[in-house]
Amino acid sequence: MKRFLKSKGGQDLQEHAISALSNLGAARSNVGFLVRDGSSSSSGDDDGNGDAVDAIVNAMGQYSECSIVQAKGCSAITNLASHDDSKLRLEIMNKGVGLAILYSSMAMHADDSTVQEAALKAVRNLCTDCETNQAKFIDIGVIDLVISAMDRHKDVPGLQEAGACVISILADYHNDTRILIGDNHGIDTILRAITVHLKHAGVVEWCNRALLTLTFDRHNAASCLEKTVDDDLPPAITVVIDAMMAHENVASIQEIGCATLANLANLGTDTSSSNLGVDPVQTKMYIVDGGTLDAITMAMVLHRNESRVQERACTLLLHLAIEDNHAAILAAIGIDMQLVKDAAKNFPDQCKKPANNLIRLLGVNR
C-alpha cells in the first residue's frame, strides 16, 4: 500500500485505486485486510503495507483540487465505515479522515454537489453509534459545513437526506449541540428541505428525525413557533403536518411527526419554559388549526398495528386536549373515541395511560 501512496502514476491511477479500495471495503470480510489499527498509520512503520485509509487520506491530500478524487475518497470511507462496528469507525477516524473530509473535500469543493453528498455520507457513517467521532467532528467545525452544503445545494435530494441524517445524529449527542445547530439556522434549513422535497420519503423522514431531536431543546422548540405577520400559523407546524399527510403510509414519518408536534404542544407548560414568551394554549390551538387532527386520525387508522404510532398519537392528543380543542378532537376522532379505546386495548403498556387520561378529560364514557 505504501507503493500506492508513493506512486508516480498520477491522478488517474489514484482514482482507479481508490475505486478498487471502495469496492473491496463494501465487504465486511475484507475490512481486516484494509484497516489496520492506529499503530500502523502511514506515518508509522515502513513495511510498505500502510492500510487503505492511510492511502485514501494521502490521495485526498495530494489531489485536494481534484473533485473526482475527493468524491471517490469519501465514498470509499463511507463503505469502510458502513459496517456495524463502532470500534472500526473510531479506528478509521483516528487516521485523519475527519480533516480530509471537511477541508480537502467540503471546504475546497463547496460548489460541487457530488463531492458534498459523498462527504456527508462519509460523516454520517463515521458518526453512527460512535459518540467519540461525533465529538471530534463537532470540534473541527462540521456543523457549519453541513448546513452550508444543504443551503447551497437545496435541490439535491440525496444531499439533503444525508445532511439531515448527520444533523439528526449530532443533535442527539448533547443539548449544547442542539443549541449550536439552532443558532446556525439549522432548523430553517431542515424545514426548507422538507418543503422542497415533500414527496421524497427519505428526505422527509430524516428531516423529521432531525427536527424531533432539535426540539428537545426548549429554545429550538420556541423558535419553531415563531411566525411573521404573513403567516397564519407557525411554518414549522404546517411543514410537519404536510409531511405526515404526504406520506400517510410511512409509519415512521407518522410516529416522528406526532412526537415533534407533542414537543411543541408541551412547550410552556412547565416552569423551565415560562420565560420563552410562548403561550401554550395558543400553541395547542395553532396545532389543531393546522389540520393535525386529520393527520392523527389517518395515522391511527392506517397504522393500527404499529404500537409506536398509536402511542405517539394518543400522547399528542392528550397534550392538545385543552378545553378550547375538545369539540374539534371529538369531531375528528369520533364522539365515542373508539380509535383511542382500541389503541389502549391493543397496546396497554404504551397507550392505556394517555388514552384513559384523554378520555377522562373529554368526559367520554368508557
pLDDT digits (tens, 9 = 90+) for 134-175: 999 999 999 999 999 999 999 999 999 999 999 999 999 999
* SS3 state of residue 220: helix
Closest among 140, 159, 139, 138 to 150, alpha carbons compared: 159
Share of the chain above pLDDT 70, in %: 91
Q: What's the CA gap between 267 and 284, in Å, rounded?
A: 10
Residue indicated by cell numbers 410516529? 255
Q: What's the CA gap between 258 and 299, in Å, rounded?
A: 9
Per-residue pLDDT at 4 exceeds 90: no
One-letter amino acid for residue 270 of the chain: D
What is residue 50's predicted lDDT score, i.e. its pLDDT? 63
- Give the confidence band of 227 by pLDDT, cuts at 50, 70, 90: confident
Set of cell numbers at residue 66: 481534484
Neighbour-count burial for 16-51, b at 16+ CB within 10 Å, e otherwise: ebbeebbebbeeeebbeebbbeeebbbeeeeeeebb
- Give the confidence band of 9 by pLDDT, cuts at 50, 70, 90: low
Per-residue pLDDT at 34 exceeds 60: yes
